[in-house]
Amino acid sequence: MEAELRSEVCRGHVLYGRKCTAIGHRQDCDDVLFWLNETETQLAVVHLSFSKESDPMWPTTALYESLGCWVAECMKPDAEEFNS
C-alpha cells in the first residue's frame, strides 16, 4: 500500500514526499489507514484510486491528529454504518 500511495500522489498533495506506513485497510472499499512517521498529524485515511494522479486533491485524504481522534471521527461512524 505504501508503494501504491507513492505512485498516486503528485507534487502538492498533502502526503507528497512524506514517509507513510500502512497500518489498516477498510474491508468494503479502497480506504487505507497510514501512520505518518514524520509529521505532527499522526494518521491519514487515504482513498486509493489505483491510478497515477495529476491533481493534488487526489487521492482523497483525511488527516487525524491522534489515534483517539481517528477512532472518534472515523472508525466509530464507519463501524456504525457498516453494522446498520
62 closest CA partner among 40, 41, 81, 38: 41
Q: How many domains does the chain have?
A: 1
Place of cell 489498516: 24
Which pLDDT score, from 0 to 100, does residue 29 have? Answer: 87
Over range 21-47, report the average pLDDT: 90
Using CA atoms, how far apart are residues 83 and 37, in angstroms rounded to an integer? 32
Local confidence band at 51 (pLDDT 50, 70, 90 cut-offs): very high
The range of the structural domain enclosing residue 35 comes to 2-83
Using CA atoms, how far apart are residues 73 and 65, in angstroms rounded to an integer? 11
Local confidence band at 52 (pLDDT 50, 70, 90 cut-offs): very high
* Complete edge-to-edge strand list for the sheet that includes strand 43-47: 20-25, 31-36, 43-47, 61-64
